[in-house]
């Protein structure tokens, strides 16, 4: 964290400690990414981490599609840490390497199915225009259902907050890791 000094976990205020403990004991297992920055505002950290837990682990979207949306969001915001962290998770979820590389290099991927095409169209069109066309909306509804589209909006929106936090506070990659975005 180039802009924020690392927190001394032994010196956290009670509100910070409660949120840090919840994050560490939850499915993430640690305070990586935006969490140390957010702990400066424990109420924000608590609410954001709960939303993030749902967006990462609980949505109706298949994991590969969720990770695809996260990568598209990280790429849009040029959030190196976000893209680096979720490229690995996307691979683990079964998103093909050529799709990950296409997102990193700003090339339209070769889709394996219409659900991938729907996620790509929906997220990239919204980031480009701040809207989605009726045709893109209909495709997303047909492939993901209403709940899936709502969850897709939630995932992309949450990871906008994450990406902005990472960029503003200049959260760097772990030592020895290389940036994946040009």
96-131 pLDDT, tens digit each:
999 999 999 999 999 999 999 999 999 999 999 999
Q: What percentage of the chain has pLDDT greater than the value 90?
A: 93
For the chain, counts of helices (H) and of strands (E)? 8, 0
Topology (CATH level 3) of domain 63-165? AhpD-like (1.20.1290)
Tokens of 172: 């760097």
Global pTM reads 0.95
Do 164 and 83 contact (CB within 8 A), yes or no?
Answer: no
> d(Cα 24, Cα 79) in Å, to the nearest integer?
23
- List the Cα angle 81/170/104 in 5-degree steps: 35
Tell me: pLDDT of 1 over 90.
no
Q: Where are the domains of the chain?
A: 9-57, 63-165
Helices 114-129 & 134-168, crossing angle to 10 degrees? 70
In angstroms, the CA 50 to CA 118 distance is 27
pLDDT band at 30 (very low <50, low <70, confident <90, very high): confident
Q: Which of left, alpha, beta for 132 (phi over 0: left; psi -120 to 50: alpha)?
A: beta
Whether the CB-CB separation of 42 and 15 falls below 8 Å is answered with yes
């Amino acid at each position: 964290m180039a802009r924020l000094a690392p927190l001394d976990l032994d010196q956290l205020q009670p509100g910070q400690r409660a949120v840090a403990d919840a994050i560490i004991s939850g499915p993430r297992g640690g305070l990586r990414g935006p969490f140390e920055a957010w702990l400066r505002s424990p109420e924000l950290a608590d609410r954001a981490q709960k939303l993030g837990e749902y967006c990462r682990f609980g949505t109706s979207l298949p994991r590969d599609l969720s990770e695809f949306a996260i990568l598209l969001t990280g790429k849009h915001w040029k959030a190196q840490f976000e893209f680096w962290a979720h490229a690995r998770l996307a691979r683990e979820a079964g998103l093909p390497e050529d799709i990950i590389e296409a997102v990193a290099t700003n090339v339209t991927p070769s889709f394996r199915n219409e659900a991938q095409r729907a996620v790509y169209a929906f997220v990239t069109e919204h980031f480009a225009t701040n809207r989605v066309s009726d045709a893109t909306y209909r495709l997303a509804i047909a492939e993901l259902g209403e709940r899936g589209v709502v969850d897709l909006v939630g995932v992309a929106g949450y990871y906008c907050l994450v990406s902005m936090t990472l960029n503003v506070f200049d959260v760097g990659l772990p030592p020895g890791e290389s940036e994946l975005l040009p």
